[in-house]
Each structure stands twice: as C-alpha cells, then as structure tokens.
Amino acid sequence: MDIDLNSLSLKELKDLQSQVVRAISSYEDRRKKEALAELEDAARRMGFTLSELTAGAASRKTRSSAAPKYANPANPAETWTGRGRKPKWMEAALKAGKSPDDLLI
C-alpha cells in the first residue's frame, strides 16, 4: 500500500489523516475486546468470572478518620487530631507556654 503523499492536496491529506485516526481507534477497541474475551475465557475455565477476580483490584485503601487528640481550652469545640498543619489556637497555646500534653483531650 504505497501512497504518494506529495501528490495529494491538503484536503485529501486531512481526509486521510482523519481516516487513519479512526482506523487506529477502531483497531485499539478491537484489540481490547479480544483481550477481554480471552481473559473472560481463562477465568471461566478456572471456575470464576472476571469480575470476581478483579473485584478487589480497583479498590484503594483509604485512610480512616482519626479521633480528635487535642482540644482548645478556650473553646472545647475546636479540636485537632494531631495530623497535618497545627491550628492557630494550638500554635498560640504553645507560644503562651503550654505543652501539647496540656491540650490533650
């Protein structure tokens, strides 16, 4: 399949380009479907479904929320877990001479 690209007009080149993009996309889709079918067959031969085998693969571990560890003595509703950046009330209390143990809940 030899095409003399130099003999084509700009419109013909752009048409050819769009055809190539569609062909590549179509090819990739076909290959993915073939791969998926092969994987489903292999799983079925082993007595599973593909979704059973991949159920845990997509889940990510999430960090559980931590319980508050410190409380603002002036306003006990303001708490801090000890993770991340120190709140301003914590920094102010430390500058005032309090220790982190003084602010424990």
Q: What is the mean pLDDT of residues 74-85?
A: 90
Same domain as 77, residue 39: no
Quote the pLDDT of residue 46.
Answer: 93
Q: Name the average pLDDT for the chain.
A: 89
pLDDT in tens, 11-43: 999 999 999 999 999 999 999 999 999 999 999
Q: CA end-to-end span of the chain, whole Å? A: 78
Q: Which domain holds residue 38?
A: 8-54
Decide if 80 is inside a domain: yes
- Binned at pLDDT 50, 70 and 90, residue 59 comes out as low
Look-up: residue for tokens 């410190």? 70
Decide if 65 is inside a domain: no
pLDDT above 90 for 63: no
Decide if 79 is inside a domain: yes
In Å, how far are 7, 22, 34, 55 from 93, measured between CA atoms? 79, 64, 64, 48
Count of the separate structural domains present in the chain: 2
CA 71, CA 104: separation in Å to the nearest integer?
Answer: 6
